[in-house]
Structure 1
Amino acid sequence: MVKRTRFDETACPVARSVDAVGDWWSLLIVRDAFDGSRRFGEFQRGLGVAKNILTTRLRSLVENGILEVTPASDGSAYSEYVLTAKGEALFPVIVALRQWGEAFAFAPGEAHSELLDRRDEQPLAPVRITAIDGRPITPADTFVRKA
């Protein structure tokens, strides 16, 4: 088996983030948690992922503080996986990936799911990156200061 490269000690925030949630199953689990999935069986049915893979990804998300295990909200003996504040902070990432996918991963007119505002059932505005003063920012407007 190939040993996984770890990025948890690098000075790059993107690499550390990918280390915590960078595989597709983990991001899809987080997406489903935002959509209301809470129990192992809900994630498994919704994703169609093998139980051993789901177990590993859920454990990693809990270890990284993105999900926490809580007693079932209905008082049953089951446990539930709930997004932590750290997990909820991934919302803009999930929305940006969704909007990128809507723009580039579907043929024109091809049906796809939509993320809507509960208040008015309208699509969300595109995610924008802005400077601290509110100016729109493009990649050409930025640079990385290495640690």
Structure 2
Amino acid sequence: MAKQESLRTSECPVARTLESIGERWCLMIIREAFDDVRRFSEFQKNLGLAKNILASRLKHLVEIGVFDVCPASDGSAYKEYILTERGRAVFPIVVALRQWGECYLFDKGETHSMLLDNVHGEPITRLQVISAQGVKLEPADCHRQRVVSGM
């Protein structure tokens, strides 16, 4: 069996992103953080994840700059994991995954969660890829181009 190369050095941003945050527990931890979960014990309770796996994933997410570790906001001896700007920037990715799942992975009438706007209490609008001119784009409307640094 051939040894799988790390995607960390790939030219493809999708490959690098998957290598960085694409593991399921990393995304689930980040999802929990968007719901204001901050403490190790809360992540562990909500996800039912083994402590060693949770510790490993949180350490990784801190190392890549998704979380900062801070003293607990209530003054206790605990630490809290706070999303950084880089971590908060994962929000559209999580929303896109959620919306795809809502659309394609639930039968009609099946119970599931829904993301609501806090101000109006209404479901958020479906994400779309929009051109600089405001036109909705489909896959056939886009192409990849290699960018060489310094050129």
Q: Give the structure 2 partner of residue 114 of structure 1.
A: 114
| Larger CA deviation: 3-12 vs 85-94 | 3-12
Q: Give the structure 1 partner of residue 54 of structure 2.
A: 54
Other structure's SS at 1:136 match: coil
TM-score, with structure 1 as normaliser = 0.95
Listed one character per residue, the Cα deviations across residues 62-115 of structure 1 (whole Å, up to 9, x for unaligned) are 000001101100010000001000000011000000000100111111011111
Q: Give the structure 1 partner of residue 133 of structure 2.
A: 133
**Is 1:105 paired with 2:105?**
yes
Q: Give the structure 1 partner of residue 69 of structure 2.
A: 69
CA distance in 1, matches of 2:35, 2:107: 24
CA distance in 1, matches of 2:66, 2:4: 20
Runs of 4+ in 1 over 3 A off after TM superposition: none
Q: Give the structure 2 partner of residue 78 of structure 1.
A: 78
For residue 35 of structure 1, report the CA deviation from its aligned partner: 0.7
Other structure's SS at 1:80 match: strand
CA distance in 2, matches of 1:47, 1:23: 14
Other structure's SS at 2:108 match: coil
Q: Give the structure 2 partner of residue 12 of structure 1.
A: 12
For residue 5 of structure 1, report the CA deviation from its aligned partner: 4.0
For residue 43 of structure 1, report the CA deviation from its aligned partner: 0.3
CA distance in 2, matches of 1:4, 1:128: 33
Corresponding letter in the other structure for 1:96: A
Corresponding letter in the other structure for 2:29: I
For residue 4 of structure 1, report the CA deviation from its aligned partner: 6.6
Other structure's SS at 2:100 match: helix
Corresponding letter in the other structure for 1:29: I
CA distance in 1, matches of 2:61, 2:43: 13
Other structure's SS at 1:127 match: coil
Q: Give the structure 2 partner of residue 31 of structure 1.
A: 31
Gaps of 5+ in 1: none
Bigger relative contact order, structure 1 or 2 (CA pairs below 8 A, ≥6 apart)? 1
How much is the aligned-residue C-alpha RMSD, in angstroms?
Answer: 1.1
Other structure's SS at 2:121 match: coil
